[in-house]
Structure 1
Amino acid sequence: MTSAPDYTYGIDSERALKYAVQHIRGDRVEIIEGIIEPVSPTWDHERAARVVRRQLEDRVDELGCVEGSGNLDLPGSSNWYVPDIAVVPEELARGGGALLPDQTFLVVEVTSESNAESDRIVKRRRYAEYRAPLYLLVDRIEGSITLFSEPGHLGYTRVDGPHPFGAVVRLPDPFNLDLDTSGLSPA
């Protein structure tokens, strides 16, 4: 879903905002529905992302992909995300710029007290709208994990979960991987 650029005073505000967040020195930031948010995960948050990342590594290599937390642009909206993990084809990761959600194989967000509602509601809706094929929500607040797939403009049409931490969650093609969540712990 794209909207017409806002050229108030001859300036494309979406482009200006996204340019600005890419040039902030120091901390990384993302834009969620027009609000600039710092990306400053805690060690517990990073530990949860690591539990998932380590289980993906071998399969990611086999697929010729990389996993990381690079920038995702959502053109036509005031959103610029920095997911906790995104799996993208190696050749796309070499460009240095932001990618689009539909260029990913998987996007993973890990909740914190400060961003749980954004990850559960806003990002889930936007990732579906921009066709991220798989969205894995690791909800540390609820102690659960949910896999969303089959994206559409009204959201994801397939939901697997929420499963309590400790359950095994199957990641479908192209991963075909059982994700063991026993190493995850609530916030």
Structure 2
Amino acid sequence: MTYAPISEKLLLDWFVVLDPPEGFRAELVEGELVLTALPDGSHAHCLDRIMSQMYTGSRSAMDFSGNKGLKLGSAAACPQDHVIPDGTFAPGELRLYRGADPWMPCEGVAMVVEVTWANPEIDRETKPRCYARGGIPLYLLVDREASSITLFSAPERDDYREVCTRPLGKPMPLPAPFAFDLDTADFL
């Protein structure tokens, strides 16, 4: 017996009503369902350090959301990527995080942050393509396994034209609208 592949629209319709098991989160990344366990404490520690520095060092008033889903790419792209960054920063005046929908459009997002954990290859390879396709200007990746931090910038189609990697412990210069050096010494 042969089975026909699930239509992309059917996959998206099924995904948006999916209720993942307790302790897991689900994403639809490049047409594949990604189910991962919730992260550990050192993951949360890195995010907390980034968040606190953004509030004290950034030149712009930014709102932060942890685990708010983003719809990336055009609605014509089926299935549209539904990705949950570990952190999302957007200008406060846009009020992007309001509303009952757990999935928001990516227009206006200034930067997304990922800290590697269960599936580091997705954070290193797949998500940069998704975020670039969504036109997100900055993608900050804290790679705990590689002991490095990478800033992806200048998105074009499904890639970032500029990539800057530093070892953890060294500062990472962040461009406008943040315009400060992120201290990574406490990430180790």
* Equivalent position of 2:12 in the other structure: 15
Task: Give the equivalent residue in structure 2 for 1:45.
Answer: 43
Indicate conservation of the 8 Å contact 2:153/2:163, yes or no: yes
2:181 to 168, 178, 181: 178
- The structure carrying a bigger helix percent of its residues is 1
* Residue type of the alignment partner of 2:46: A
What is the aligned counterpart of 2:152 among 148, 151, 155?
148
CA gap of 1:20–1:176, structure 2 versus 1, over 3 A, is same
Question: Could you list the runs of 4 or more consecutive aligned residues of structure 1 that deviate by over 4 angstroms after TM superposition?
Answer: 59-62
Matches within 5 A, 1:1-187: 8=7, 12-21=9-18, 23-24=19-20, 26-27=22-23, 28-33=25-30, 34-58=32-56, 62-74=60-72, 75=75, 76=77, 77-90=79-92, 91-97=95-101, 98-112=103-117, 114-161=118-165, 163-185=166-188
Secondary structure at 1:93 match in 2: coil
The offset of 1:39, in angstroms, is 4.6
- Indicate conservation of the 8 Å contact 1:29/1:39, yes or no: no
Number of aligned pairs?
Answer: 175
Q: Is the 8 A contact 1:72 1:101 kept in 2?
A: yes
Distance 1:184 1:56, change over 3 A: same
Change in CA separation of 1:35 and 1:135 when aligned onto 2, cut-off 3 Å: same
Query: Deviation at 1:36?
Result: 3.2
What is the deviation of 1:49?
Answer: 1.4
Q: Distance in 2 between matches of 1:50 and 1:146?
A: 17
Q: CA deviation at 1:61?
A: 9.3
Amino acid at match of 1:17: W
Structure 2: which 5+ residue stretches go unaligned?
A: none
- 2:62, 2:47 → 1: CA distance? 21
Give the number of the structure with larger relative contact order, counting CA–CA contacts within 8 Å between residues 6 or more apart.
Answer: 2
RMSD, aligned α-carbons: 2.4
Uncovered stretches (5+) of structure 1, i.e. residues with no partner: 1-5
- TM-score where L is the length of structure 1: 0.82
